[in-house]
Amino acid sequence: MLSKGFEVEMYTGTPQGDIVGFSDRIVADLHGFAREPDSRNVEYTTPPLCRYERLLCDLVRPRQQLRTYLQKLGDYTLIPGSTLALGGGDRFYRSDPANPYHTYIEQTYGTTVVTASIHINIGISDPDVLMRACRLVRVEAPLYLALSASSPFLNGEITGSHSTRWSVFPKTPAEVPLFESHAHYIEWTEAQLALGTMQNVRHLWSSVRPNGDRRPYNLNRLELRICDLVSDPVSLLAIAALLEARILQLMENPLLDPLVNSQLPLSTRASDLVTLTDANELAAAHHSLDAELKHWKDGQPIQARDWVDQLYHEVWAIAKKHGFSCFLLPLRKILREGNEAQKWLKLCEQGLDPQAVLMQAIQTAANDEAALARELCQPLVA
pLDDT digits (tens, 9 = 90+) for 231-242: 999 999 999 999
What confidence score (pLDDT) does residue 379 get?
A: 56
* pTM check: above 0.85: yes
Burial status of residue 313 (CB atoms within 10 A of its CB: 0-12, 13-18, 19 or more)? exposed
pLDDT digits (tens, 9 = 90+) for 337-349: 999 999 999 999 9
Q: Of 89, 123, 129, 95, nearest to 109 (Cα)? A: 89
Q: What is the mean pLDDT of residues 361-366?
A: 98
Is residue 330 within 8 Å of residue 311, measured between CB atoms? no
Confidence check: pLDDT of 37 > 60: yes
Which DSSP string do the residues of 70-116 spell out, in sequence order? HHHHSS-EEE-SSS-TTS-TTS--BS-TT-HHHHHHHHHHGGGG---
| Banded model confidence at residue 380, pLDDT cuts 50, 70, 90 | very low
What confidence score (pLDDT) does residue 378 get?
A: 67
What confidence score (pLDDT) does residue 381 get?
A: 41
What confidence score (pLDDT) does residue 377 get?
A: 85
What confidence score (pLDDT) does residue 111 get?
A: 87
pLDDT digits (tens, 9 = 90+) for 295-313: 999 999 999 999 999 999 9
